[in-house]
Amino acid sequence: MGNRTLVPFGPQHPVLPEPIHLDLVVEDDKVMEAIPSIGFIHRGLEKLVEKREYLDMVYVAERICGICSFIHGLNYCKGVEEIMNIQVPVRAQYLRTIWSELSRVHSHVLWLGLLADAFGFENLFMDTMRIREQVLDIAEDTAGGRVIFGGNKVGGARRDISKERLAQMDREVSGMLAELKRMGDVFMKDYSVLSRLKEVGVLSKQDAYDLGCVGPMARGSGIAQDLRQTKYAAYGDLDFQPITHPDGDCFSRTYVRVHEIYQSIDLIRQAIAKIPDGPVDVKVVGAPNGEVFTRVEQPRGEVVYHIKGNGTRYLERFRVRTPTFANVPALVKMLQGCDLADVPVVVLIIDPCISCTER
């Protein structure tokens, strides 16, 4: 046995977009154990239900995570609407679906750029950022915000999208697809990329299941689990299947996210083609009295909300289980036995969001 050294990794590190902290027990250049530490950016957002009215809490929910903000807002509204038996107009459900998939494209493209940066491919990083700008421009023009879209409200959507703008969006996302596939081909075929992803951070299907992986982490180990199949919003009217890859390494999870980008473009186009006319919101009267667990599929995986109301304007309880929190045990497992040089890639492969994990 060689000498073992404790190497602190994070919370500030040149390749980490998030302030995650790991204590790595290293023997030579092999990681023998990884001990995560969390709590650096706890913000107490769940406590704010005691000070913010339930209609205003959607703004707080959207700020649990900037990149996943729209779907956080959707899940919050979905939970309150279930408690209050609010029937959301079908057109609003389609608008939520369109913006959700636009958010997924934005998140995955950003993640691909950060992954490229993690293994030193700066040209590829800049190319992904250029494509991401096109996604943000569409979001800003249709929802009102670039990163935090702000399109959700209890009872529906905050704004409508005209027929002409939907047709323009269809043309825009169709035009983006060729660029996205060109970018995706680099991740799927370039030798230097594959050398950093293939057979690195391997997680078997059984381990992924036992450790409770969600999202691309689970699907990258061959588990066909996707909360969109529960048919919330307008997903019940759209045709898609979960994208999986059996190898369970970093390349598998990259494969899943790249192909989910293509799938999201297809879902946006399907929704645009099928969206019905009608109102985009309903008047909300009263206050929530009851509790609910509600789940949706974030870009990073399943997010769970527990919402409890007591008939007043202020919720009694608001708890969130985010996908990064669910995937941290798998991260610890993948780091055991990997090379120290591969740690940034393995950490980035779960697409960590520490701000939403700690809230």
Domain of 159, CATH number, reads 1.10.645.10
pLDDT tens-digit readout, 226-284: 999 999 999 999 999 999 999 989 999 999 999 999 999 999 999 999 999 999 999 99
Q: Token pair for residue 226?
A: 């996707």
* Domain assignment of residue 126, yes or no: yes
* Domain assignment of residue 27, yes or no: no
Domain coverage including residue 115: 44-342
Mean pLDDT lowest among 3-12, 120-129, 282-291: 3-12
Radius of gyration for the alpha carbons in the chain, expressed in angstroms and rounded: 20
* Domain assignment of residue 26, yes or no: no
**Residue 237: Cβ within 10 Å count:** 16
- The single-letter code of the amino acid at 338 is C
* Domain assignment of residue 349, yes or no: no
* Domain assignment of residue 36, yes or no: no
Model-level pTM?
0.93
**Closest-CA residue to 353 (of 108, 106, 65, 69):** 65
Q: Is the pLDDT of residue 1 over 60?
A: no
Tell me what pLDDT residue 13 has: 63
* Domain assignment of residue 5, yes or no: no
**Closest-CA residue to 156 (of 97, 114, 108, 213):** 97
**Closest-CA residue to 104 (of 237, 297, 283, 241):** 297
**Closest-CA residue to 343 (of 18, 38, 118):** 118
Band of residue 353 on the pLDDT scale cut at 50, 70, 90: confident
3-state secondary structure of 152: strand
Average pLDDT over the chain, rounded to an integer: 89
3-state secondary structure of 272: helix
| Residue that wins the pLDDT comparison between 273 and 4 | 273
Count of the separate structural domains present in the chain: 1
Q: Is the pLDDT of residue 200 over 80?
A: yes
Q: Is the pLDDT of residue 169 over 90?
A: yes
Q: Token pair for residue 150?
A: 């702000």
| Residue that wins the pLDDT comparison between 66 and 190 | 190
* H-helix or E-strand spanning residue 32: strand 30-37
Tell me what pLDDT residue 260 has: 95
The C-alpha atoms of residue 88 and residue 90 are separated, in whole angstroms, by 6
The C-alpha atoms of residue 193 and residue 121 are separated, in whole angstroms, by 8
Task: State yes or no: cis peptide before 11, omega within 30 of 0.
Answer: yes
pLDDT tens-digit readout, 34-66: 888 876 777 778 788 888 898 998 998 888 887
pLDDT tens-digit readout, 297-347: 999 999 999 999 999 999 999 898 888 888 889 988 999 888 888 888 888
Helices assigned H by DSSP within the chain: 57-62, 69-84, 90-118, 122-142, 163-189, 191-197, 205-210, 216-219, 250-274, 323-335, 343-349, 354-358
Mean pLDDT lowest among 14-18, 182-186, 308-312, 352-356: 14-18
Bridge-based pairing state of the strands 4-9 and 21-27: antiparallel
* Domain assignment of residue 259, yes or no: yes
| 95-123 average pLDDT score | 90
* Domain assignment of residue 37, yes or no: no
The percentage of the chain sitting over the pLDDT mark of 90, rounded to a whole number, equals 55
